[in-house]
Structure 1
Amino acid sequence: MSRKIVQNYYKIVYFCLLLAVFLPLIFYRNTFSPFHFTKNLLFRVLVETLFVFWLVLAWADKRYRPRLNLLFWLVNAWFLSYLITSVLGVDWSRSFWGTLERMGGFILQLHLWLYLIILISVFKTKEQWFSLLRLSIVASFLCSLYALAQKANLGFVLGGGRERVFGTVGNPALFAGYTLFNFFWALYFILKRDARDKWRKFFVGVAVLQFVTILLTAVRGAIIALLFGLVLLGILYIFLQRGKKTKIVILGAIAPIVILSSALYLARGSDAVRGNEFLRRVTDISLQTETIQTRLTTWHIALKAAASRPVFGWGPENFSVAFAQYFDPVFFKSFGSETFWDRAHNVFLDILTAQGIFGLAVYFCLLGGVFFSLYKIFREGDDEARWLGAVLLVILLVYHIHTFFIFDVFSTDLMLIIFLGMVYFIYAKFTGREPETKEPEMSPPKPRKFVLVGGLFIVFILFFVLAVAPFKTNYLGTRAVVADWQHQHEQVIGYYQRSLESGAFPAYEIRHKLAGYAFSVASAQKLSQGEIIKTLDLAISETQKNIDQHPKDYLPYLYLGRVLNYKARYNNQAVLQARDNLQKALALNPAYPRIYYELGQNYILQGDYQNALKIFQEALNLNQKVAISYWYVAATYARLGDYQQAAKYVLLAQERGYEFNQKEEATQAVVIFNEIKETAKVAEFSQKVATLDPTAQNYASLAVALKQNGQYQEAILAAQKAAEIDPGFAREAQIFISQTKPLVGSQ
C-alpha cells in the first residue's frame, strides 16, 4: 500500500475522530428521547466506519497501533467487566441494547471503547489532541448558546420557556456534566502560557458563557463541583506558577468565589435568598430537601439490591428491575408519581448494582490507574505536562462530585473517553513512554483491499441493523402518537404496526405506548366494539412479546394485565388472564400500589368485592399518605353496601387532599352520603358534579341537595342555572323556586 493511500486513510480516520465531538449538538425532535437517540445512532455509524479504515491503516502502518501501558490494560479490563456482567445479569437483552430513555448498554460501551482505542492509536501529538479539545469547546459553546435560547424562549428552540436550561443534551444535570468538562478545558487554554491571544479571548468568552449556563441549570451537585473545581484549580495553579503577580491575580479570583458562596449559604434562610427561586434552590442542600430525600431512598434501595446479587450485580441497564424488586412505597403519592427509576443517581452505586463488587473493583482499579498516571506526570513531566495534569486531576474530581448525584449519558460518556485518552497520551508523551516511528512500517499489501471492502460491507449491514431499523421503529412510533392527537384511529394502528413489524430496538417502549393507546380507546368508548376489541388484541399480542423478551421486568406484566382488564368487559375469560399477569407483576414489584389497584379492579370485574376490598386495603397499608387508596377502599365498601365505612374513607381521602376531579367519583360520593343522610356532604359533592359536568340535570340535582341542606338561596340560584342551561327545565325550576323562596328567611 502506497504512502499516499495510507495518508488518505489517516485523514478519513482523523476527520471522523474530530467530527465525533459535535455529536452532542445533534437531536431530532420527531423521535422519542430526541436528545439521546439520534446522537447514539450517528455515533455508531461514525465509529463503525472509522474502525474499518483504522483497521486497514493500523495493518499497513504500525505507528497507528496503540502502545500498551497500564492505563490501556485497565480500560480493556473495564470494558471486559461490562461484557461479563451483561452476560451474567438478569436481562442480557437490555444490558446489550440499553433503553430508549438512556441509549446506553453494551452496544454504546463497545463503540466508546473502539473510539478510545482508535483515538489513542492515531493521535500522537499534543496539537492533535488540542485540536480535538478546541473543537469540543466550540461544540460546547454552541450547546450553551442553545441553552441561552431556551432561557430566552426563542420560538425555534426545543425546550424553551422553562426555569432550567438543558441545551442539546436533554436534561439540566446531564447538560451541566457535559459543560463542566469543556469549561475546564477552556480554563486550561486560558491559563496556558503559550496560548495565542485570539484563542485566549475566545476561550474567556466561552468560559464565561459556560459558567452562566451551568448556573442556569440550577443543578446543585454541578454548581458545587464547579466551585470546588475553580478553587482547587486556582490553588494548583498558584503552586505550579513562579510569578508573584500571577499568584496574586489567581488569589484575587478565588477569594470572591469562596466568600460569595459562603455568604449565600449562610444567608440561605433570609427573605432575600428564599424569595429568589434560583438562590433558594441552589442553597437548599439540607438532607430534608425532597430531591435529596429521594436520592437517599434510591441509594438505600440500590444497596439492598446490590446485597442480593453482590458479585456480578443485576447487569448493566437493569437497575429498574432491581428498583422494582425493592421498591419503597414512599415514591408513590398518586398517579403520575415518579415511580420508575433506571439509575441509582450515584456513579458508584450504579456500578455496584449493575456490575457487583467485581465491576466496582475494576472501576476502582481504573481510577487508581488514572491517579497513578497523573502522579507520574507530576513527578516526571515538564511544566506544561504538570499544568495539564493539574487540569486533568481537577476534571476527574469534578466529574465524580457531579456524578455522585447523577449518571452518564452519551454526551458525558464521550467527554470521559476523551479525558481518558488525554491521560493516556500525556502520561506516555511527557514521561518518555511513547516512542514514535519515523518511517511507516509497511505490511504485506494483498489482503488490505479485501479487508476494506469486506469491512465496509459489514458496516453497511450494521448501518441498517443498528441505525436504520431502530430509527424506523422510533420515528413511526412518534407518527402514531401524532395521529392519535389528530383522532385518526386507522392511521394510529397502521403506524404502530409498521413501527413494530421488525421488532427492532426500541420496540419495548413502543409496545407500551401502543398499550397506553388501547387503554384510552377502550376507556373513551368512541369506536365500535369491533374496533376496540381489535385494538386491545393487537396491544395484547405486542405486550406479550415484551414479557417473552424481558420475563423479569414487572412493567410488561402490568401493562398486559391492564389491557386484559379492559378486554374482560367483552370476554369474561380475560379476567383470569389479567389476574395471572397482575399477580406476576406483583411478585416482581411487591410494594407498588398501582399494581394493587389494577388487581382490585380485576376482582371487581368478577364481582368479588370482598377480595377487591382486601387488595385495596393492602395498597393503603403500603403508604397511608396516598389519598387515592382511601377512595378505592371507600368505593368498594359502597359496592358492599356498607355506606358508613364508605363515608369514613371518603372523608379520609379528602383529608389527604383527594379532590374527586372525575365526575363519576363525585357522583358516587353523592350516593354514599345520600345513603347515610349527610346532607352537607351531599350538597358539597353535588356542587362538584355540577362543576365538572354543567348540565341542567346536574344543576337541578344540586338545587335539591342544597335545599335539603338548608341552603335555600344557593338552591334557588342552582335552579335558575338549570333553567338557563336548558329552558325545558324552566317550569319545574319556577315551581321549585316558588316553594323555596318562603324558606329563605329561615336560613
Structure 2
Amino acid sequence: MTRAWQALSFLLLAPAAIPLIYIGGVLYPYIAPKTFLLQGSAILALALFAYLALAGQTFFYGRLRALTTWIPALLLIVAYVTSFFGIDFYQSFWGLFARGEGLLTLTAITVFFYLILFSADHVFLERLVKIIAIVAGIVAAVAVLQWITMLFGGKAWFLPPVTGRIGSTFGNAAFLAGYLGMALFVILVVLRDSSGIWRRVYQTAAVLSVFAILFAATRGTILALLLACGVALVVTAWKGEAKTIAPLRRDGSPDISSDEMYRGRTKRGARYGLVALALLAGLFFMFRAELAQSSFEPVRRIASISLSDGTVSSRLFIWSHITGEALRHPLSGYGAEHIDQLFDKIYDPGKILEQWFDRSHNSFLDYLIQYGVFGLALYLVLIGMFAAYALRLYRRDTYIGLLFLLLILTYAAQNFFVFDTPSSLWLLYALFALLIILLREEPASQLSFKHLPHIVPGTIATLIALLIVPAVILPLYANFLLTKGYVYHLIDVNRANAYFERGLALGTYADLEYGYQAYDIYTERQAVQLSGENRIAAYEYALSLLTANFKKYPYDARTATYLGHVIDTAPPEVVVDDSFDQQVLSRAIELSPLRAQAWYMTANISLRKADALPQDDAKKETYYREAIAILEEYVQKEPMLPVPRYILTTLYYKLGNTAIAKKWADEAYLLYTAPDTAAARPAVKYYIAVKDWQHAARFLADLVEDNPSDYDVLYDLAKVTYLAGDPAAALRIVEKLRVENPTILGTDPNFLDAITAYEQSKK
C-alpha cells in the first residue's frame, strides 16, 4: 500500500505542474493536453483513493464535518442538475477541445479538492505550494523570454510560438495573467520561510511573474493587482505588520518594544507607499491622453480604457444584453458550455468585435448563465468562505493570512473581466482545501466498512481507472487523428478524409469540432487552392460532416452558418440544393438574427440563379430584386454596417439605377470608419465602374494593407492612383512591383507606357 499511497500523492500534486504542458501535434496544443492530463490524473487518483480507502488506509474524513467543505459538491450538483435541464447535457458534460471545460473537467477539479482534503498533511501542503511557486516561476520566465524575443524581432525554437500578445505555455495572454495573478501570492507565501539558493529562486520567480503579468498586458489582472496592492498598503498603514516571532531578551522573554518598532516602521513605509501610489495615479490621469499613444503596450492598453474603447464598449454591450437573456431562466440556467447560444441571440456586428464567443468575459455572469442563481450564489459563497478562512488565518499569521486575502481579492476582481481556466479553477480549489486543512485539526480514521475480500478494492479501483479510456484516451486519439487529417488536407485529400473518418468512428464528443475544422480547412484553403476532383472530394466531405452536425446539434448557429458557407462556395461542377441551402440559412438566421453572413448567403441563392441565366434573360432582374429585398430587410435590422449597403450599391448599379446606387454608396461611405475588406471589395467595383478614382484608391489601399502580397490588387492601386491624379505615388508602387513581381507590369501595356513616360519626364 506504500507505493499506492506514494502514487496517490504524486497524482494529487500533478495538476500543479500542468501549466507547463505544451504539446505539439494535437489540435489546441496549449489547452487540450492540459485538459486530458487533468482529467486523467483525477480518474487515476480517484481509483487509487478508492483502493486505499477500501483496503483500510486512514484518511482525514473528519474534515467533512466543516460545512464549508460541502460547497464544491453542492456547486457540482447544481451544475449537473441545471445542465440536465439545459440545452444539451451531452455537450455540457464533455465540452470542447478549444476550451477544455465542461462538467467532466469541473468534476475532475472537485475530485481533486476532496482528495486533497482527505489526504493532505502539512508535509504534502508544503510540497504543493512549493511546486506551484516553482511552476509559476518557469511559466513567467517563458513569458518574459517570449517578450524579449519579440522585442528584438526574433524567434527562439525552444519557446512556444507567439501570435498577438505573449501567452507563455498557456498560449493566451489573459489565461497567463489570470493564473500568475493568483500564483504570485503563493510564491510570496513560500518566500518568507525560504533560505539560501531557494530564497533567490523564489525571489526571481516573483519578479518574473510581475513582469510577465505586465508584458501580457491583460488589463483585468493588472487592475486587480493594483487594487490588491492598494488594499495591502492600507491594511499595513493601519495595523502595521508584526513579526511572526518577537525577538528575545537576554532573560528569554519576548522583546515587545522591538516588535512595536518594527510595526511602526512598516506603518510608515506603507503610508509612504500610499502617497506614492496616489501620486502615480494622479500623474497617470493627468497624462492619460499621451500615455494612450505609448509604444509600451501595457501602459497604452490601461490608458485607453474608456466607454468609447472598442473592447470596453463591446464587453458592456454583451454584459447588458446577455444578462437579459440569462434572466429568462434565472433558476435553471442554460447548462454548462452553452453561453455561446445566448451570445448568438444577442450578437450585433455593429456593437460586438468578436464573431463567435463562448464566454461573456465575466466569470460571475458565466455562472449565472450556465447554472442559474443557485450556481452563482454558491460560487460567491465559495469566494466568500475562502476570504473568511483567509481572515481567520490572518489572525494567526498576519503575513500569510494577508497574502491569501489579497489572492482571493485579485481572483474575484480579475474574474469580473475574464474567466476561469481549468488551471486557475484548480488552483482556487486546491488553495481552499489548504486553508481548511490549516485551520481545522482532525485525526485520520478508517472507513467503517466490514473487512472486505482483497479482490474488492482492486476491482473497484480498476473499474474507476478504466473510465480513462472513454474520458481521455479516445478523445485524445480523435484529436490526434484530426491533426493528422489537417496535415494532409491539401497534399492528399482522400487520405485526410480517411483520417477524419477514423477519428469520427471513435464516437467521441469531437464531432462538433471536426465540423468546425472541416469548414475552416475547406473554405480557407481547399476551395481556393484545389481544383477538379480533389476540390469536389473536399467539398463533399465538409458538406456531409457539417450536415450531420446540423441535424445532431440543431441549436448551434455556428454549424448552421458554416454549413451555409460551405454550400455557398461549392465547386462549379457541383449542383447545389437551393432548398436545403435555404433551410440551413433560415435556421442560422433564426439562431443568430443579426449575423451578417447568413443574410448575405441567403441573397446569394438568388444571385446564383441570376448568374446562371443568359445576359439578356428577363428573369435576371427578378432574381436581383429578390436579393435586394433580402439585403434591404437586413439593413433595416442592422443599420450600422457598410457592407450590405455597398452590396446593394453594386446590385442597383447592375440594374442601371445609378441614382439609388449612389444613395446606398454615400450612406455606406459614412459608415466606413475602419478598414474592412468585406466592404472594400464591392466598394472598389462600384467606384471603378463610375470612375470615382479617389474613393477607389482609398479602398484599394485598405485591401493592399490587409494582404500586401496580392500583386493584382497592388497593381490596380497603382493604376487607380495614377488616374486619381497622383502619378508620383503610382510610380512608387510600380518601382516596388519591378522588384517583387515585374511580370505583372506587362499585363497593362497602356498604363505601363503612361507611367514610363511620366518617369522619363522627371529625369
TM normalised by structure 1 equals 0.84
Please report how far the alpha carbon of residue 638 of structure 1 lies from its aligned counterpart in structure 2 after TM superposition: 3.1
Please report how far the alpha carbon of residue 542 of structure 1 lies from its aligned counterpart in structure 2 after TM superposition: 0.9
Kindly report which structure 2 residues correspond to 1:518-533, keeping only aligned pairs within 5 A, or say none. Answer: 518-520=522-524, 523-524=527-528, 526-528=530-532, 530-533=533-536
Determine the C-alpha separation between the residues in 2 that align with 1:544 and 1:258.
Answer: 63
Shifted more, 444-453 versus 87-96: the winner is 444-453
Determine the C-alpha separation between the residues in 2 that align with 1:218 and 1:658.
Answer: 25
Match of 2:480 among 472, 475, 478: 475
CA deviation profile, 1:632-654 (whole Å, cap 9, x unmatched) = 11222234332333344345445
> What amino acid is the match of 2:306?
S
CA deviation profile, 1:22-78 (whole Å, cap 9, x unmatched) = 011101132222211101101111111111111122221343436221111222111
- Relative to 1, partners in 2 of residues 1:694 and 1:401: Cα closer, same or farther, differing over 3 Å? closer
Determine the C-alpha separation between the residues in 1 that align with 2:507 and 2:177.
Answer: 35
Equivalent residue, structure 2, for 1:227? 226
**8 Å CA contact retained: 1:312, 1:355:** yes
Please report how far the alpha carbon of residue 348 of structure 1 lies from its aligned counterpart in structure 2 after TM superposition: 1.3
> What amino acid is the match of 1:451?
P
Shifted more, 145-154 versus 238-247: the winner is 238-247
- Relative to 1, partners in 2 of residues 1:267 and 1:321: Cα closer, same or farther, differing over 3 Å? same
Equivalent residue, structure 2, for 1:459? 465
Match of 1:151 among 128, 133, 147: 147
Equivalent residue, structure 2, for 1:181? 182
Match of 2:600 among 597, 600, 617: 597
Kindly report which structure 2 residues correspond to 1:428-443, keeping only aligned pairs within 5 A, or say none. Answer: 428-429=440-441, 434-436=442-444
**8 Å CA contact retained: 1:71, 1:370:** no
RMSD, matched Cα: 4.1
Match of 1:39 among 34, 39, 55: 34
1:95 aligns with 2:92: yes
Determine the C-alpha separation between the residues in 2 that align with 1:664 and 1:266.
Answer: 41
**8 Å CA contact retained: 2:334, 2:370:** yes
Determine the C-alpha separation between the residues in 2 that align with 1:46 and 1:215.
Answer: 32
**8 Å CA contact retained: 2:233, 2:274:** no
Gaps of 5+ in 2: 150-154, 244-258, 611-622
1:21 aligns with 2:16: yes
1:74 aligns with 2:89: no
Equivalent residue, structure 2, for 1:292? 312
Determine the C-alpha separation between the residues in 2 that align with 1:204 and 1:694.
Answer: 53
> What amino acid is the match of 1:75?
P
Please report how far the alpha carbon of residue 149 of structure 1 lies from its aligned counterpart in structure 2 after TM superposition: 1.7
- Relative to 1, partners in 2 of residues 1:451 and 1:658: Cα closer, same or farther, differing over 3 Å? same
Shifted more, 81-90 versus 656-665: the winner is 656-665
**8 Å CA contact retained: 1:686, 1:702:** no
**8 Å CA contact retained: 1:660, 1:666:** no
- Relative to 1, partners in 2 of residues 1:618 and 1:198: Cα closer, same or farther, differing over 3 Å? same
Aligned length: 710
- Relative to 1, partners in 2 of residues 1:255 and 1:190: Cα closer, same or farther, differing over 3 Å? farther
**8 Å CA contact retained: 2:241, 2:267:** no
> What amino acid is the match of 1:640?
L
Shifted more, 550-559 versus 257-266: the winner is 257-266
Kindly report which structure 2 residues correspond to 1:259-278, keeping only aligned pairs within 5 A, or say none. Answer: 259-260=276-277, 261-269=280-288, 271=290, 274-277=293-296, 278=298
Q: Secondary structure at the match of 2:171?
A: coil
Q: Secondary structure at the match of 2:82?
A: helix
**8 Å CA contact retained: 2:143, 2:212:** yes
- Relative to 1, partners in 2 of residues 1:651 and 1:472: Cα closer, same or farther, differing over 3 Å? farther
Q: Secondary structure at the match of 1:308?
A: coil
Report the identity percentage.
Answer: 21
- Relative to 1, partners in 2 of residues 1:17 and 1:213: Cα closer, same or farther, differing over 3 Å? same
Please report how far the alpha carbon of residue 406 of structure 1 lies from its aligned counterpart in structure 2 after TM superposition: 0.3
Determine the C-alpha separation between the residues in 1 that align with 2:401 and 2:131.
Answer: 20
Equivalent residue, structure 2, for 1:645? 660
CA deviation profile, 1:107-135 (whole Å, cap 9, x unmatched) = 001111111111100013x3321221111
Q: Secondary structure at the match of 1:315?
A: coil
CA deviation profile, 1:316-368 (whole Å, cap 9, x unmatched) = 11110011112233246xxxx52211111112111111111121223233344
Shifted more, 368-377 versus 661-670: the winner is 661-670
1:408 aligns with 2:420: yes
Match of 2:82 among 80, 85, 93: 85
Match of 1:330 among 339, 345, 350: 350
CA deviation profile, 1:244-284 (whole Å, cap 9, x unmatched) = 44432465267347624424523342646743433222233
Determine the C-alpha separation between the residues in 1 that align with 2:733 and 2:385.
Answer: 78
- Relative to 1, partners in 2 of residues 1:734 and 1:557: Cα closer, same or farther, differing over 3 Å? closer
Equivalent residue, structure 2, for 1:340? 356
Equivalent residue, structure 1, for 2:50? 55
Equivalent residue, structure 2, for 1:309? 329
Please report how far the alpha carbon of residue 570 of structure 1 lies from its aligned counterpart in structure 2 after TM superposition: 4.7
Equivalent residue, structure 2, for 1:133? 129
**8 Å CA contact retained: 2:8, 2:48:** yes
- Relative to 1, partners in 2 of residues 1:591 and 1:251: Cα closer, same or farther, differing over 3 Å? farther
Determine the C-alpha separation between the residues in 2 that align with 1:403 and 1:47.
Answer: 25
Determine the C-alpha separation between the residues in 2 that align with 1:63 and 1:545.
Answer: 49
Determine the C-alpha separation between the residues in 2 that align with 1:521 and 1:109.
Answer: 36
Q: Secondary structure at the match of 2:453?
A: helix
